[in-house]
Amino acid sequence: MSQPIRDIIVKVTGDNNYFGTGFFYRRGICITCHHIIYKMNEIKIQYKNNFYDAQWSKEYSSMEKDIAVLTVRACGAEPFKSSKQSLSQLKIWGFGYHEEFSKGT
């Protein structure tokens, strides 16, 4: 059974700023976009007003596909659950890397 998306979204923070959002794919594994974290010195996940240290997993991330996988310990966020049926007519909009990143700076 799927749960409301608002209950599983976490904030990606660090360096005392809010950078974007993410969600947990499995316990301890958070998915976000690489353009959100690429300039951060420290990565934290905020869930229910608590902050948790996160580490970027280079092995499982893809800069080319704008996917960043973060490992997070001791966070109680539930993993994303949905039906396995795809919605073929569902339209989505995505945004890529920041202009500075695409220039290699």
| Structural domain range at position 26 | 5-102
Number of domains in the chain: 1
- Tell me if the pTM is above 0.95: no
Q: In DSSP terms, which residues pair with 55 in a beta bridge?
A: 71
- Rounded distance, CA 9 to CA 101, Å? 25
Per-residue pLDDT of the chain (105 residues; tens, 9 = 90+): 556 667 778 999 987 889 999 998 888 899 999 999 988 989 999 988 899 999 999 999 999 999 999 999 888 787 777 655 556 666 666 555 555 555 554
What is the number of residues in the chain? 105
Displacement of CA 26 from its chain's centroid (Å): 12
What CATH number did the domain enclosing 30 receive? 2.40.10.10
